Structure 1
Amino acid sequence: MATTPPNQSIERAAAVLGALGASETGVMRASDIARAIGLGTSTTGRLLATLESLEYVRRDPDQGWSVGRAVLELASQGLNHNPVHRESRAAAQELAHRIGLTANVGVQDDTSCIYLCHFEGSLAPKSHTMIGMRQPLHASALGKALMLDLTQADREALLGTDLARYTDHTITTHDALTDDLVASAGRGWCVENQELALGRFCIAAPIRNASGRIVAALSVSGRLTQLRDRDTAVLAEDLIEVADRISVGLGMISAVAH
């Protein structure tokens, strides 16, 4: 079957939105956007004008271009149509409020974990949301929980031979990752101890659908200083109970054999 060639106009429009999304301030001048996506200023200007007419970007005469209302509305609709997000949102929010830490829900996308939900407790305020952001599967508690049912051969085929190092604590071999996941499966939850960022600690549990397949994961995280006086086992029990409740909401009605 012949492959349909990509539509250049759509690719360029997506590049503009990607550049705006990646901007540290969220606002860019047209010339900076043109430079970021490798197009001329006139071509970029036409793209911006079209996207503005569709409300995918907006222009502030004093500051520049930013993501528009239509993008935010589309993202919201996408989340609301996602069954995992619908089922887990209230439960994750309540968990974060009750324990005072950050609660996240993530799903797998190729070799990454993407955040679907992100809620902060009173002890873990942030100035930004994590929704839509990615983390590597092998170096995050959410990612590990998503891979619990995979064999080592499956993980090697998915992730490749080399596992990227982010800190001195990152697991970088498949044998070590397998050992970590076997221990995690035995207790029902995964650990990320400064493997992605120094000073960060996170635990996660899998979320399953009606067939028992892992479709998402729920985590709680915080700084090591915030967790120093917390009983991790008690925190994990709470986490697993909420993850199981979400799984039941997705249709899981029986135990999963290991």
Structure 2
Amino acid sequence: MASTPPNQSVERAAAVLGALGASENGAMRASDIARAIGLGTSTTGRLLNTLESLEYVRRDAETQGYSVGRAVLELASQGLNHNPVHRESRAAAQELAQRVELTANVGVQDGATCIYLCHFEGRLAPKSHTMIGMRQPLHASALGKCLMLDMTQAERTSLLGAELARYTEHTIIDHDALTADLAEAEARGWCIENQELALGRFCIAAPVRNATGRIAAAISISGRLTVLRTRDMTSLAEDLIEVADRVSVGLGMISAVAR
């Protein structure tokens, strides 16, 4: 059966929303959006008018700049609320962040990346933006490592490719080294990310399992390396694992997982 060709109008509308979401300088003028997505100004203008009427984009009457509209935010909220991992982990992650005063995140696998479903900031880890919806590479993040604990090296290589991207001098870029790191993490019960994605950042994560015992998500504690150096890592990890187990039970896991 032949596949249905993509709808060009939908693709173009998605490109507009993608450009707005990726903007590093906030609102964008129509001409800037047209250049970013490679369409003519008149075509882009018509798309923006339609999207504005549906409240998927918002236009500032004074600056004429466009930004993501209310309807997109509402859909994103509905999507999160429909996700069982988000529902079960949200309150637990928020409490964890407040208790340890650091950042608590929950992520799930999406292809070769980890996508954030929850992001809460403690007193010692303030941010000016949210991580919800953002992605991190599996091999260079503690959350991502947790999501690969059930995989064989062959499965990881097939998923990530033979070459692993380097982000800092600490990034693990060899599959054999990654396998060894994950074996240590599995024996320990939690994964470590020590400046592998960004210098000065330290993160620990524990897996969350579903009713079948398979890893469905991961939850992490992260913060600046200078702050975490002063904390009792064993105590933090025990707190993290307890929260991960509580979320796992909420997802239906009722028996221990054999190693």
Which residue matches 1:57? 57
Report the TM-score when normalising by structure 1. Answer: 0.99
Q: Report matched runs for 1:26-105 at 5 Å.
A: 26-63=26-63, 64-105=65-106
Which residue matches 1:114? 115
* Amino acid corresponding to residue 160 of structure 2 in structure 1: L
Report the TM-score when normalising by structure 2. Answer: 0.99
Equivalents in 1 of 2:257, 2:25: separation in Å? 46
What CA deviation, in whole Å up to 9, does each residue of 1:4-26 have, x standing for no partner? 10000000000000000001132
Per-residue deviation, 1:61: 2.2
Equivalents in 1 of 2:18, 2:72: separation in Å? 11
Which residue matches 1:184? 185
- Unmatched runs of 5 consecutive residues or more in structure 1: none
3-state DSSP of counterpart to 1:48: helix
Equivalents in 2 of 1:200, 1:213: separation in Å? 28
Contact 1:146 1:216 in 2 (8 A): yes
3-state DSSP of counterpart to 1:218: strand
* Amino acid corresponding to residue 240 of structure 2 in structure 1: L
Equivalents in 2 of 1:249, 1:12: separation in Å? 40
Per-residue deviation, 1:62: 2.3
Per-residue deviation, 1:233: 1.1
Which residue matches 1:151? 152
What CA deviation, in whole Å up to 9, does each residue of 1:226-247 have, x standing for no partner? 1111011110000000000000
Equivalents in 2 of 1:125, 1:71: separation in Å? 25
Which residue matches 1:19? 19
Whether 1:8 and 2:8 are equivalent positions in the alignment is: yes
Which residue matches 1:169? 170
* Amino acid corresponding to residue 239 of structure 1 in structure 2: L
- Unmatched runs of 5 consecutive residues or more in structure 2: none
Equivalents in 1 of 2:53, 2:44: separation in Å? 14
What CA deviation, in whole Å up to 9, does each residue of 1:18-73 have, x standing for no partner? 00000113200000000000000000000000000100001002231010000000
Equivalents in 1 of 2:90, 2:15: separation in Å? 30
Equivalents in 1 of 2:163, 2:257: separation in Å? 31
* Amino acid corresponding to residue 138 of structure 2 in structure 1: L
* Amino acid corresponding to residue 184 of structure 2 in structure 1: A
Equivalents in 2 of 1:257, 1:133: separation in Å? 32
RMSD over aligned CA atoms reads 0.5
Equivalents in 1 of 2:22, 2:158: separation in Å? 30
* 4+ residue runs over 3 A deviation: none
What CA deviation, in whole Å up to 9, does each residue of 1:200-247 have, x standing for no partner? 000000000000010100000000111111011110000000000000
